[in-house]
Structure 1
């Protein structure tokens, strides 16, 4: 009974952490540009994970490093910049809902490129989820003309990156411990992220108060929202199942809605309907 309660506590904690990451990105963008935010997020998370997972690095076979670099690019490097850029134009709560399309993209790519098969319920779920995504984006564009909703497509592209990451890990890295994969990922990203940060003009504005305040938000996002969240997620997978662990997808938008409303973001009734349709599609697509 105690283990049963523990897995639910871990799931709730994970949804609170990841659901809060979107508002942290929004606050970080007040003083940082997307390149600076993405780079700092990678650097802070990477330093944290290396501090706790460096002992796992010698366990990585030489032939696995190319796959680690590939998954690092698809699952971390590309998405962190795309999410940061998208949130310069769209609300954080909308970004969180669109992030929930990741299981749909995972299923489509898994069938198209990795030989996975569809069930009827999953096909219906993909169609419903994509329909909800289209409704959410179009209605948001109509009700928020001051925002450029073409930027919502960046979140969809980032979700495809996450989907590629999951399928690559499943095919090429499934024999490695999750912490080893994660530590190896961020080791390959530290140098590129540092180069991007140095070229972004960050060090010329780092002494400004608004920049320093934003950096504090990204310290939290990197260490807790990326590093610690991954550790909880890995433990949840090990003690339960991937199916149960990925059900956090349904809770993240709820937390993001809450933070968005506290920060003055308005979600129209039609967008709520679109979000609900997406979650129905994700649920159906995730069924066996």
Structure 2
């Protein structure tokens, strides 16, 4: 097996496992506490490793780094945490696959980046699959509030906006520098959220699940953010962006397996809906000709 396939599989395992780690982290933490801790720990790792990279940035670069940091990391960290209080981790991972589709839509609406007919068809198919997944999930799990799935969809729109900003305004900035800049911008706001989330109280710190939840969040921050970014950068360098983006199709498989092992329900029609979404993602991810 070639190196690029090894990196692709490792990245799929790491990112695909992020959703179950969020679910486990919520056992002893609130969504606000989980999101804030995830940002602070990841930011500390990245800032310690690469703070020297920030010294040559211009004011314009800093502005877009701050905006992309809030859209691409800060708000989604909380949205996913809140969503997984009501919907299964596997469903959240599948909905996360809408990022490439939303990237196409925002690219057209905000930046006038035109798409091919195949991509437009992919967008339509992707959203039909999303509707199928949410409706089937709601009927399979009547005790869960599937309106919370909207939070994941909002997060994917924010991810997509961040990607377009990076492509448009931060094209010449190294990926590691972008990551360090993003987290440097959002670490202090995340700490403020943590302060006001009642985290530093005996009720939380002495809770039954606190230590295990903290362990899961450290794993999520270390592997799901810092190391995963290194893997992805290496994968892009040794292959192509198109090959690297295929991680989008493998992540839900890993997440669904984790979900089933954890007792989550997943029926035949949800599997069909997942396939429909991934077909839409594949079509929307084909090379633009327009």
The verdict on a shared fold, with TM-score over 0.5 as the criterion, is: yes
Structure-to-structure mapping, 1:17-56, within 5 angstroms: 17-56=14-53
Do the aligned residues in 2 keep the contact of 1:98 with 1:155 (CA within 8 Å)? yes
Bigger helix fraction: 1
Do the aligned residues in 2 keep the contact of 1:101 with 1:156 (CA within 8 Å)? yes
Structure 1, unmatched stretches of 5+, are none
Deviation at 1:239, TM superposition (A): 2.6
Runs of 4+ in 1 over 3 A off after TM superposition: none
Look up the SS of the partner of 1:142 in the other structure: helix
Match of 1:191 in 2: 188
Look up the SS of the partner of 2:95 in the other structure: helix
Distance between the aligned counterparts of 2:16 and 2:64, measured in 1?
A: 29
Alignment coverage as a number of residue pairs: 285
Query: Which string of whole-angstrom CA distances, capped at 9 and with x for unpartnered residues, describes residues 237-278 of structure 1?
Result: 233222111110000000001100110011011111100100
Comparing 56-65 and 125-134, the one that deviates more: 56-65
Match of 2:210 in 1: 211
Comparing 240-249 and 277-286, the one that deviates more: 240-249
Match of 2:281 in 1: 282
TM-score (norm 1): 0.97
Do the aligned residues in 1 keep the contact of 2:25 with 2:213 (CA within 8 Å)? yes
Distance between the aligned counterparts of 1:123 and 1:94, measured in 2?
A: 24
Comparing 207-216 and 188-197, the one that deviates more: 207-216
Deviation at 1:234, TM superposition (A): 1.7
Deviation at 1:23, TM superposition (A): 0.3
Distance between the aligned counterparts of 2:52 and 2:238, measured in 1?
A: 22
Comparing 46-55 and 272-281, the one that deviates more: 46-55
Cα RMSD of the aligned pairs, angstroms, is 1.0
Deviation at 1:30, TM superposition (A): 0.4
